A and B are shown apart, each in its own frame.
Chain A
Amino acid sequence: MNILEVNDLSKVFNLHILNDKRIEALKQINFTMEEGEIIGLTGKSGSGKSSLMKCIYRTYLASSGEIIYASREGLVDMVKADDHRIIELRKSEITYCSQFLSVIPRVSAVDVVCENLFRIEKNKQKARNKAKEMLEALGLPTELWDAFPVTFSGGEQQRINVARAIIAAPRFLLIDEPTASLDAKTKNVVIDMILSLKKNGTSVLCISHDEYTLDKLVDRRLDLHLGQIAVTEVTAS
């Protein structure tokens, strides 16, 4: 079954405040994704990888085309669906993990990680224990667990960001550069965590520049070039 079907997707930024300058970020993108598949989104900086991901999550409004997501309750066009439907899907099925952690003031590392889990696990202590397990596996020093992530290093924030995205085992995960700025050992932990999500049925769209991560993680790659899909190559696994 396809979990995602993208048809003729285009995105043009119309910058009214710069004399209506137009920037074409995505041109006629077409692809499908199987449930449980991990697709690696590759391409140079500026090729449209993040734009594509943000269109799927509805952070960007697509200019034309369809993004059909097979939710548990039927097909949803992420381009046209009502805002409330999108909010529901974000709370229950789809998680987006950006490259950078957007910190929440005065919330501890453990609670930042737990935020999505608190929605389904009402026993806060249980949720926090799970977060601690993950932070432990990711090698985040214990003394940082109760601290506020705003002052953390890039790598520390990155690990919190990844833990936060996958703790509640979303049905569909959009993840941008999950292993950038991580050392080899932690990189492997992150890859294993995402693979174990896949085992439980999660579908993953992953942006990465890292060959090692792509080799270990993805079923196939979509290579973007100037806003278009260049080659689809199947990775033998």
Chain B
Amino acid sequence: MSRTDDNWLLTVRNLTKIYGEPNENTLDLTGPIFNSNICPETESIVACANINFDLYPGEVLGIVGESGSGKSTVVKLLYFDMEKSAGAAWLTPYNNGLANILDESNQKKRFIRNHLMGMVYQNPRDGLNFRFSSGGNIAEKLIMAGEMHVGNIRGRASDLLNKTEVPVLRMDDRPSSFSGGMQQRVQIAKAIANNPPLLFLDEVTTGLDVSVQAKVLDLIRELQQDLGIAMIVVSHDLSVIRMLTDRTIVMKNGRIVESGLTDQILQDPQHEYSQLLVSSLL
């Protein structure tokens, strides 16, 4: 296993997560062909297996699939929220892309997370500390990334809140007093506070009403265009994928069933499951 090309920002090979005690047949007896990710012999659950992809700097990659297809697992493994069962990932800005980041020590993983990644969760409670003010949440991320100067931190926090259209007057209020859309925008401000080259977005518009959803998507598009942040966008919503991404991966039962240019996936899907997904689009 090795990297194929030096132009990548992120290379992922054979990423696998299995719950329970698998045996040597587990991977052969699960997946889209069996329409199941539960091994019939061991009852272990294959959350995702053999995931391979590459991401360019500044590129936006979509991951679509139904609930339980393993799409969130992929980003949670890469953000170290979960421990992998197997596989490797290389991130070019870290150690010149020579180290498998998934095998690094916890201390180094924290460094990578604080300096090179951002994550926006579906539920703002997962990404924000509700005991801190919104400014405090951004400060937390900046401090972890090594910024110590209080003036700089406050300045940067108000810039970020401005950028994400959260009234700076409310910088010292806790996110619990904010609307869902505002909480989400504070979460995005926090996620990009350390200027990461890579941002993960996990179902960030799910549960928001349409006008708020448009605002959040608009913000993400702008960040991508102005700052050139590479993103992995996980969503079951094909319109979100169409609006934000260049390339898309379709997942089912823990496996990638198809990957390609987003307009190709949406207009000429090859795999039976992708055809079903697209034909279900409103």
A54 to B264, CA, bound (A): 9
A 43-60 binary contact with B (CB < 8 Å = 1; else 0): 000000000001000111
Contact A87:B275 (CB < 8 A) given known A60-B268, A105-B217, A106-B214: no
- The reply on A97 being an interface residue by CB < 8 A is no
By beta carbon, the residue of chain A nearest B279 is A17
Contact A59:B267 (CB < 8 A) given known A83-B247, A118-B225: yes
- The reply on A86 being an interface residue by CB < 8 A is yes
Contacting residues, chain A, for B215 (C-beta < 8 A): 106
Q: How many A-B residue pairs have CB under 8 A?
A: 48
Range, interface on chain B: 20 to 34
Contacting residues, chain B, for A15 (C-beta < 8 A): 275
A83:B260 contact, CB within 8 angstroms: yes
Report A11 CB to chain B, min CB distance, Å. 9
B 233-275 binary contact with A (CB < 8 Å = 1; else 0): 0000000000100110000000000011101100110111001
A83:B225 contact, CB within 8 angstroms: no
Report B231 CB to chain A, min CB distance, Å. 14
Q: How many residues of A contact B (CB 8 A)?
A: 19
Interface of B is mostly: helix
Contacting residues, chain A, for B260 (C-beta < 8 A): 61, 83
Task: Tell me which of B59, B264, B268, B272 contacts A13 (CB under 8 A).
Answer: B268
Interface of A is mostly: mixed
Task: Tell me which of B214, B221, B225, B268 contacts A59 (CB under 8 A).
Answer: B268
A104 to B220, CA, bound (A): 13
- The reply on B33 being an interface residue by CB < 8 A is no
B267:A54 contact, CB within 8 angstroms: yes
A106 to B165, CA, bound (A): 14
Task: Tell me which of A16, A61, A83, A86 contacts B275 (CB under 8 A).
Answer: A16
Contacting residues, chain A, for B225 (C-beta < 8 A): 118
B275:A17 contact, CB within 8 angstroms: yes
Contacting residues, chain B, for A185 (C-beta < 8 A): none
- The reply on B147 being an interface residue by CB < 8 A is no
Q: List residues of chain B with CB under 8 Å of any chain A CB.
A: 56, 59, 214-215, 217-218, 221, 225, 243, 246-247, 259-261, 263-264, 267-268, 270-272, 275-276, 279
For the complex of A and B, list the 3 residue pairs with the smallest distance between their C-beta atoms, beginning with the closest.
A16-B272, A105-B214, A60-B268
Q: List residues of chain A with CB under 8 Å of any chain B CB.
A: 13-17, 54, 58-61, 83-84, 86-87, 104-107, 118
List 17 A–B pairs whose Cβ atoms lie within 8 Å, in order of A's numbering.
A15-B275, A16-B272, A16-B275, A17-B272, A17-B276, A54-B268, A58-B264, A59-B264, A59-B268, A60-B268, A61-B270, A83-B247, A83-B260, A87-B59, A104-B243, A105-B243, A106-B218
